[in-house]
C-alpha cells in the first residue's frame, strides 16, 4: 500500500508497527534489520511504533490463551526464531492488555532512545522467552530497574495519564495511515507492508523501493 509521498534525502527511514507480545513482530524485526544492513547504509536503523493487539484491558478467554500459545509454537518453528516459550499464555491467567509494556517503553524514552530500546528488549524477552507477565506494573518496575533505568524519573512518567494518552493517539494516527495489524513496516512514510514476510521478500521489497524512488537497482550482500 502506498502512503502519501515525501521526498527521499539521505538514508531512508524504516518504521515497524507492532506489539511487544507478538512473536511475529520480533521475527519480522530481525529479518528487516538483516535486509537493511545488507544494503550498506542506504536505510536508517529500524525504528519502532506501538501497535498493541489489546489496547483496552479485557481478560482473555481460555480459547484465546490457547490460540496465543499455538501461535508461539508456530513462530518457534521458524529457523530464525528466538527460543520462544508458551508459558505466558499457558498459566491460569494471561495478559489482560498489551498496552502496559508499550506505555513503559514510552516512559523510558524520556531517558533517551537507548533506554527505551533496552527496556523494550528486556520486556519482550521476559515475556516471550521466559514467560513472565510483563503487563503487571510491579514486574515492569523490576525489569526497568534491571535494565538500568532511573526509577526516580521512570515511575512518574510511567504512571502519568498523559503517557497512555500519547500511546492511544499514536495508535490512532497509525490506523488513519492504514496500519491495521502488527507487524506493519512503513518505508519512508510512503510504502506500507503488512504482515511478517520471509527474509527474501524483505530484501526484494527494499531493493524495489530503492529502484523506484532512487532510480537504481541495488544488489544486496549476504554476510
| Spatial separation of the C-alpha atoms in residues 11 and 13, rounded to whole Å | 7
Task: List the domains of the chain with CATH numbers.
Answer: 1-51+179-223 (3.40.30.10), 58-171 (1.10.472.60)
pLDDT (0 to 100) of residue 9: 61
pLDDT (0 to 100) of residue 130: 96
Residue 2, CA atoms < 13 Å, CB-side half-sphere: 6
Grid cell locating 52: 498493541
Ramachandran category for residue 176: left, alpha or beta (phi over 0 → left; psi -120 to 50 → alpha): alpha
CB 47 within 8 A of CB 15: yes
Other Cβ atoms within 10 Å of 157 Cβ, number: 18
CB 60 within 8 A of CB 95: yes
Q: Give DSSP secondary structure letters for 67-84.
A: HHHHHHHHHHTSTT----
pLDDT (0 to 100) of residue 47: 96
- Whole-number Cα distances in Å, 205 to 98, 113, 215: 29, 27, 14
| Spatial separation of the C-alpha atoms in residues 206 and 211, rounded to whole Å | 9
Grid cell locating 200: 527474501
Q: State the pTM of this model.
A: 0.89
CB 134 within 8 A of CB 100: yes
One pLDDT digit (tens) per residue for the chain, 223 residues: 544 444 456 899 999 999 999 999 999 999 999 999 999 889 999 999 999 999 999 999 999 999 999 999 999 999 999 999 999 999 778 899 999 999 999 999 999 999 999 999 999 999 999 999 999 999 999 999 999 999 999 999 999 999 999 999 999 999 999 999 889 999 999 999 999 999 999 999 999 999 987 664 444 333 2
Amino acid at each position: 500500500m502506498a502512503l502519501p509521498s515525501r521526498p527521499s534525502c539521505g538514508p531512508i527511514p524504516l518504521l515497524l508497527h507492532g506489539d511487544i507480545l507478538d512473536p511475529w513482530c520480533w521475527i519480522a524485526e530481525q529479518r528487516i534489520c538483516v535486509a537493511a544492513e545488507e544494503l550498506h547504509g542506504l536505510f536508517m536503523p529500524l525504528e519502532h511504533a506501538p501497535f498493541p493487539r489489546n489496547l483496552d484491558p479485557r481478560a482473555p478467554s481460555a480459547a484465546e490463551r490457547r490460540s496465543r500459545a499455538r501461535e508461539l509454537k508456530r513462530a518457534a518453528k521458524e529457523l530464525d526464531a528466538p527460543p520462544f516459550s508458551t508459558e505466558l499464555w499457558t498459566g491460569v491467567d494471561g495478559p489482560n492488555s498489551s498496552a502496559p509494556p508499550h506505555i513503559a517503553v514510552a516512559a523510558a524514552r524520556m531517558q533517551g532512545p537507548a533506554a527505551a530500546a533496552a527496556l523494550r528488549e528486556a520486556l519482550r524477552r521476559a515475556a516471550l522467552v521466559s514467560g513472565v507477565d510483563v503487563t503487571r506494573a510491579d514486574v515492569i518496575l523490576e525489569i526497568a530497574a534491571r535494565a538500568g533505568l532511573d526509577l526516580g524519573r521512570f515511575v512518574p512518567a510511567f504512571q502519568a495519564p498523559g503517557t497512555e494518552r500519547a500511546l492511544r493517539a499514536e495508535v490512532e494516527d497509525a490506523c488513519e495511515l492504514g496500519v491495521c495489524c502488527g507487524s506493519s513496516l512503513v518505508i519512508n512514510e510512503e510504502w506500507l507492508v503488512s504482515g511478517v514476510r520471509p527474509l527474501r521478500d524483505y530484501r526484494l521489497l527494499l531493493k524495489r523501493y530503492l529502484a523506484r524512488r532512487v532510480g537504481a537497482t541495488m544488489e544486496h550482500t549476504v554476510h
